[in-house]
Amino acid sequence: MKIKELRLHPQAIADGPLRSSYGLHAPYALRTIVEVVTTDGITGISETYGGDRPLAALEAARSRVVGMNPFDLTRFWQYLNGDTDKAIDPAGARSQTMLVPGENPLDEAARTFAAIEIACLDAIGQAVNEPLCDLIGGRARDAAPFSAYLFYKHAGGGGTGSDAREDKYGECLSPETIVEQCRRFIEEYSFREIKLKGGVLDPEVEIETIRALRAAFGPSYPLRIDPNCAWSVDTSVQIGIALREELSGGGYLEDPCASLEGMAEVRKRLLAEGVNTLFASNVATTCFAHVPQAKELDAVQIILSDPHYWGGLRKQKQLSELCEVLGLGLSMHSNNHLGVSMMTMAHAACASPHLTHACDTHYPWQTEIDEVIVGGRVKFVDGAVPIPDKPGLGVTLDYDQLARGVERYNNLPFRKRDDTAEMRKHVDPNWERILPRW
Ligand code: GKR
Ligand code: MG
């Protein structure tokens, strides 16, 4: 089997005006759907980040991918110099502190590799008639658990003009409206764990929001908050103390402040106060080189993997095993995505024997109108995505929908996620991303 064609389909998908410490989401998020067509007539698919940079990196690999045997992934990894993630990263340049995921040149090799690896594995899975998580060594579970990923947001459901989408949640900039948002998420998806994207409002309001979620849903729903480094070390310590009860029992504090050193300091000071809240990270830990550092400093106890930029599905499985050996927890990070990524994440989670927390997903923030897989959106059962009894990823592309996504993309005036620009356009013309803000 050889790859005879690589097809790239840029996609624009509607997204609501969600807030984070990066700023404001634009009315459309960018993705890329990848197809590898083999000489056997099989087409493997994957989904990755969108916009100029990720597309250019895939384009640059085209001549190497076409003609490649889809099993020849190790040499493709070497060709892309994927091992750059073994290098020590003292300056934290590999972190996601300032750059949004998908834009860091230092994880480009791992990102590009992942997009091709997943499509190749999908093709191989179809060739041997095995679901992807079984193909890479067997599943640890039949369904992947996800969490309710709540966002402070302005009114609006994403999209623009005649393509504007229904706003199911309205403006959510208070504890009460976030509780209501969560209630709807749980009603619709039956999620069992809750994540609040923080770093948006005054810490007092965010503390109040977490307390309101605890009061509304009780301790059987573990809580986590992720301010994406918006807090100083001192503020992180104060919030850790204030939320010691609410973030215990399966919950965690995610990237409260910047850098592994900063998180290590917060952890040390909290432990001295008798607060053993666990820390998770997808900002300070983005690659294998960060894992031993995180462990050594006791800065992070739960690594948030992501097959899209950690180097694909087999790397995800290796990370699960590494975390288990090191006594670290494992969960999964997410950005806006379509159903192909949804299934990739589900297979990755099911193939990971050691997965200690429900994974993140932005999927509830996307709409049916943009879905590119045949049969419409992926269905959740009890807060989890079951692995279908189908080969590969278990989903195929709806080419009409794909063409609509390309058209939306072609009509957009931007080619890169820029939450600062959106914030200035719609909320505050003088907004700067200041870290720490509080
Ligand atoms: O979508 O605004 C967002 C998030 O902040 C996202 O960019 C992060 O990558 O979800 C992510 C996170 O957990 O940090
Ligand atoms: Mg995070």
CATH code assigned at 294:
3.20.20.120
Q: Considering the domain boundaries, does residue 410 fall inside one?
A: no
- Give per-residue pLDDT as tens, 278-309: 999 999 999 999 999 999 999 999 999 999 99
CA–CA gap between residue 150 and residue 396 (Å, rounded):
29
Has 333 been annotated as catalytic?
yes
Beta-bridged to residue 46, according to DSSP, are: 34
Q: Considering the domain boundaries, does residue 25 fall inside one?
A: yes
**Residue 132 CB contacts under 8 Å (≥ 6 apart), including other chains:** 121, 122, 125, 313, 347, 351, 392, 393, 394
Number of neighbours of residue 271 by Cβ within 10 angstroms = 13
Which entry of 9, 153, 197, 290 is annotated as an active-site residue? 197
User: Does 100 contact ligand 1 (Cβ within 6 A)?
Assistant: yes
Q: Which of 129, 151, 178 is the last residue of a domain?
A: 129
Q: Considering the domain boundaries, does residue 431 fall inside one?
A: no
209 and 70 within one domain? no
Beta-bridged to residue 3, according to DSSP, are: 38
Residue 81, amino acid: N
Report pLDDT for 149: 98
Number of neighbours of residue 192 by Cβ within 10 angstroms = 19
157 and 121 within one domain? no
Structure tokens, 433: 């991303």
Q: Considering the domain boundaries, does residue 436 fall inside one?
A: no
Q: Considering the domain boundaries, does residue 217 fall inside one?
A: yes
Backbone angles phi, psi at 332, to 5 degrees: -140, 135
118 and 145 within one domain? no
CATH at residue 48: 3.30.390.10
Q: Which whole number is the average pLDDT over 369-379?
A: 98
Triad 136, 140, 145: Cα angle to 5°: 110
User: Does 226 contact ligand 1 (Cβ within 6 A)?
Assistant: yes
User: Does 149 contact ligand 1 (Cβ within 6 A)?
Assistant: no
Q: Considering the domain boundaries, does residue 343 fall inside one?
A: yes
- Residue 198 lies in domain: 134-405
Instruction: State how far Cα 201 lies from the chain centre.
Output: 22
Q: How confident is the model at residue 90 (pLDDT cuts 50, 70, 90)?
A: low
155 and 38 within one domain? no
Backbone angles phi, psi at 380, to 5 degrees: -100, 145
Structure tokens, 120: 């190749």
154 and 61 within one domain? no
Beta-bridged to residue 144, according to DSSP, are: 385
Is the CB of residue 284 less than 8 Å from the CB of residue 299? yes
Report pLDDT for 86: 65
Q: Considering the domain boundaries, does residue 434 fall inside one?
A: no
Q: Whose CA is nearest to atom 1 of ligand 1?
A: 335
Q: How many domains does the chain have?
A: 2
Is the CB of residue 360 less than 8 Å from the CB of residue 195? yes
Q: Whose CA is nearest to atom 2 of ligand 1?
A: 20
171 and 73 within one domain? no
b/e string for 136-171 if b means 16 or more Cβ within 10 A?
beebebebbbbbbbbbbbbebbbbeeebebeeebee
Q: Which ligand is nearest to the CA of 25?
A: 1
- Give per-residue pLDDT as tens, 315-332: 999 999 999 999 999 999
User: Does 335 contact ligand 1 (Cβ within 6 A)?
Assistant: yes
Q: How confident is the model at residue 55 (pLDDT cuts 50, 70, 90)?
A: very high
143 and 102 within one domain? no
Backbone angles phi, psi at 424, to 5 degrees: -70, -35
User: Does 20 contact ligand 1 (Cβ within 6 A)?
Assistant: yes
Report pLDDT for 87: 64
325 and 301 within one domain? yes
Distance 70 CA to ligand 2 centre (A): 32
For residue 18, give the ligand 1 atom closest to its CA: 2
- Give per-residue pLDDT as tens, 346-355: 999 999 999 9
Q: Which whole number is the average pLDDT over 150-178?
A: 98
For residue 336, give the ligand 1 atom closest to its CA: 1
- Give per-residue pLDDT as tens, 5-36: 999 999 999 999 999 999 999 999 999 999 99
Instruction: State how far Cα 342 lies from the chain centre.
Output: 10
251 and 103 within one domain? no
- Give per-residue pLDDT as tens, 381-413: 999 999 999 999 999 999 999 999 999 999 999
Distance 125 CA to ligand 2 centre (A): 31
Q: Which of 77, 101, 129 is the last residue of a domain?
A: 129
Distance 362 CA to ligand 1 centre (A): 9
Q: Which ligand is nearest to the CA of 281?
A: 2
CA–CA gap between residue 239 and residue 224 (Å, rounded):
12
Choose between 11 and 104: higher pLDDT: 11
Of 95, 304, 335, the residue with max ligand 1 atoms within 8 A of its CB, to mutate for a pocket test, comes to 335
pLDDT above 90 covers a percentage of the chain that reads 94
Which entry of 333, 347, 357, 362 is annotated as an active-site residue? 333
Q: Considering the domain boundaries, does residue 36 fall inside one?
A: yes
User: Does 282 contact ligand 1 (Cβ within 6 A)?
Assistant: yes
What pTM was computed for the model?
Answer: 0.97
Distance 282 CA to ligand 1 centre (A): 9
pLDDT above 70 covers a percentage of the chain that reads 98
Q: Which ligand is nearest to the CA of 420?
A: 1
24 and 141 within one domain? no
239 and 119 within one domain? no
176 and 71 within one domain? no
